[in-house]
Amino acid sequence: MPIIDNAVYVNGERTANPDNLDETYEVLRARHGMAWIGMYRPTPAEVESVAREFDLHHLAVEDTLAGHQRPKLERYGTTQFIVLQPARYLDASEEVEFGEVHMFIGPDFAITIRHAESPDLGHVRKRLESNPKLLALGPLAVMYAVLDQVVDEYSPVVSGVENDIDEIEDQLFNEDANVSRRIYELSREVIAFQRATQPLVGMLAILRERISSEDERTLELHRDLRDVEDHVISLVERVDGFRSLLQNALMVHATLVGQRQNEETKALTEASLKQGDQTKRVSGWAAILFAPTLIASIYGMNFRNMPELLWPWGYPLAILAMVLLGLGLYISFKKRGWI
């Protein structure tokens, strides 16, 4: 149902619950109070209806119909158009889900349009209705209450992200293969969180300037907005810190991966060197053994015309040649470290 709640307030009290938008307009004209129209994913016809009745600027209406807007504050005459990006932390998937809320705040109307489940504006309405003194301030009170609710709902998100970062720090030194992917995904969520929260600092400062702190009726509202602004500033600083921590975690991960690769390369190099040493030893001993084998094979060919076979000292000379040649090769290889 696009229209979630629709009421007309006079002096902070709910005086009418119209069944449709046309009735809301008639009651508002008759009682000169404030209309608070709460919508959830309204149809273009419903948005056009309130746009015609309250003379909403066509650019703001186009943004509302298109959706997917970044947080911003725009002023069109006496109407303020505010876009917020609420967020909530999903424990099951360990992800941050972002929504979108549009507000049209005019002299005698407050139109809130949600494009996601969060925030719970029904809770906001009940809280304001339980405080008629604040609600009597009109649309500005609605604007403050919605801003306050959105900022309050950021706190569980901050806690969830902080817990994820703690888990990532543990994963870094446990050599978890999936940690780099998790760092990247969480970094994207933190960047999106920054985009949702950072503009609020400037927006709240501007809104406070537009609300008089000299008027006794709006003085307390001015202070309340200042309190919300303080919370947002603290929130933004923490989120900025999260981004720095994740960048550092990514650098540490790259360093650890590099160290592991260096250690693996070193181990492979040492193994290769050992294998080379063994090859040298085998080759050296093979060469030493080849020398006497060569002499023996030459004189084992049994040709008739081999004068060395008839020498009286032929056999001792052959043995001596084998020993000297093998010894010479052994000394040479030993000096070179091959054996």
| Domains of the chain by start residue, with CATH | 1-131 (3.30.460.20), 273-336 (1.20.58.340)
- Encode pLDDT of 184-242 as tens digits: 888 899 999 999 999 999 999 999 988 876 677 788 888 999 999 999 999 999 999 98
Reduced to 3 states (helix: H, G, I; strand: E, B; else coil), residue 80 is: strand
What is the spatial distance between Cα 268 and Cα 259, in angstroms, rounded to a whole number? 14
So what's the pLDDT on residue 213? 66
Contact 242, 190 (CB under 8 A): yes
DSSP state of 314: H
Nearest to 2 by CA among 57, 34, 49: 49
Length of the chain: 339
- Encode pLDDT of 57-74 as tens digits: 999 999 999 888 999 999
Contact 247, 190 (CB under 8 A): no
Cβ atoms within 10 A of the Cβ of 331, count?
A: 9
Q: Mention every residue, 6+ apart, whose C-beta is less than 8 A from residue 56.
A: 50, 76, 79, 81, 104
Q: Which residues of the chain have pLDDT under 70?
A: 1, 177, 213-214, 303, 310
Chain center to CA of 49: 39
- 246 CB-contact burial (10 Å; exposed 0-12 / middle 13-18 / buried 19+): buried
What is the spatial distance between Cα 74 and Cα 57, in angstroms, rounded to a whole number? 10
Tokens standing for 200? 């609020």
Tell me the H-state helices in the chain: 21-31, 44-54, 58-66, 121-129, 132-135, 139-152, 154-172, 179-210, 216-298, 314-336
Nearest to 157 by CA among 115, 117, 97: 97
Contact 253, 307 (CB under 8 A): no
So what's the pLDDT on residue 214? 61
So what's the pLDDT on residue 156? 92
Query: How far is residue 212 from each of residues 10, 61, 78, 226, measured CA to CA in Å?
Result: 22, 28, 15, 12
Chain center to CA of 2: 32
pTM: 0.76
Reduced to 3 states (helix: H, G, I; strand: E, B; else coil), residue 137 is: coil
Question: What phi, psi does 211 have (nearest 5°)?
Answer: -105, 125
